[in-house]
Amino acid sequence: MRTVETMNFMITGVGGQGTILASDILAAVGVEAGYDVKKSDILGLAVRGGSVLGHVRWGEQVHSPIIPQGRVDYLLAFEILEGMRRLSQIRPGGTVILNEQEIHPASVTSGPATYPEPDAVQKALSAATPSAFRIRALEIAQDLGSTKVVNVVVLGALSSFLPVGTESWEKVLEERVPSRFTELNLKAFHSGRRLTKERA
């Protein structure tokens, strides 16, 4: 049997950004591509505008649904502050896709905390990995006509790096989203994919 290195994906953002659907889709694509897959999401309290975190793992045989410390291969950050919060989990040489959206927590709007400055964000990203991509998924989604597809734009940007054909992604998207939104989601996926295709 061929040995497949387990691929570890961490998905983070703010409750309400569609991160859970993103991890559902990513897990389903892994199954479609023939991997053993485990996925873990935090639901409930945290979903109310809190910091959310999902783990998806593809491999030959995956035991733990949680990624061991410091071994994230792909970090999908839907929001800058949350991306920074999980950045130290990326392995050296791992890939970071950072959606440049700011959602200010109460500790910033009505408390003493500050939101990370762009320079500090860039410095941390550069130190973490040479393979960091800053994308503006919200703008792309708005141009396509729905802010709800931010998650699929991010997945599209990720897809360039994975050994899985676009047909698997398209099939899963068609299965997972209501049919009237299929075309929108496919457009969002390919828009995201174009952002990274040449650099992957």
Partner 1 sequence: MKVLMSGNEAIARGAYEYGVQVATGYPGTPSSEILENVARYEEIYTEWSTNEKVAMDAAIGAAYAGKRSMVGMKSVGMNVAADSFFYAVYTGVRAGLVIVVADDPGMFSSQNEQDNRQYARFAKMPVLEPADSQESKDFIGAALELSEEWDTPVILRTVMRISHSASPVALRERDAKDGRATAPFERDPHRLVCTCVWAKHQHPVIEERLKRLSGFANTYELNRLEWGDRRLGVVAGGAAYNYAREVFPEASFLKLGMSYPLPYELIRELADGVDELLVVEELDPFLEEQIKAQGIDCRGKDIFPAYGELTPAVIEKHAAEAGLLPQEQVKGARELPLPELAGRSPIFCPGCPHRSTFYVLGNKMKETIVTGGIGCYNLGALPPFDATDTMGAMGASIGVAHGLDIAEIPDPSVAVIGDSSFFHAGIPPLLNIVHNGGNSTVVILDNRTTAMTGHQDHPGVAETLTGKPGKEIDVEEVVRACGVTDVHKVDAFDIELIEETYRDALAYDGPSVVIVEGPCYFVGPGAQGTYDVDLETCIACGTCFKLGCPAIKLSKEVNEKTGRAKAEIDPVLCVGCDMCAQVCPVEAIHPVESEE
Least Å from the CB of residue 19 to partner 1: 13
Residues 6 or more apart in contact with residue 12 via CB below 8 angstroms? 19, 51, 52, 53, 54, 75, 76, 77, 78, 79, 82, 83, 85, 86
Q: Is 158 exposed, middle or buried (0-12, 13-18, 19+ CB in 10 A)?
A: buried
Nearer to partner 1, 147 or 182 (CB): 147
First to last CA, the chain: 28
Nearer to partner 1, 71 or 134 (CB): 71
Nearer to partner 1, 63 or 194 (CB): 63
Nearer to partner 1, 111 or 198 (CB): 111
Least Å from the CB of residue 22 to partner 1: 13
Nearer to partner 1, 85 or 197 (CB): 85
Q: Looking at residue 87, what DSSP letter applies?
A: G
Q: Which residues bind partner 1 (CB under 8 A)?
A: 14-16, 24, 27-28, 31, 36-51, 62-66, 68-71, 81-82, 84-85, 87-90, 92, 102-111, 113-117, 120-121, 123-124, 127-128, 138, 147
Task: Specify the 3-state DSSP secondary structure of 52.
Answer: strand
The C-alpha angle 31, 37, 43, rounded to 5 degrees, equals: 110
Q: At 57, which amino acid appears?
A: R
Least Å from the CB of residue 41 to partner 1: 5
Least Å from the CB of residue 95 to partner 1: 15
Nearer to partner 1, 114 or 179 (CB): 114
Q: Which of 87, 60, 70 is nearest to 6 (CA)?
A: 60
Gap between the Cα atoms of 98 and 93, Å rounded: 15
Q: Looking at residue 49, what DSSP letter applies?
A: T
Least Å from the CB of residue 65 to partner 1: 4
Least Å from the CB of residue 160 to partner 1: 23
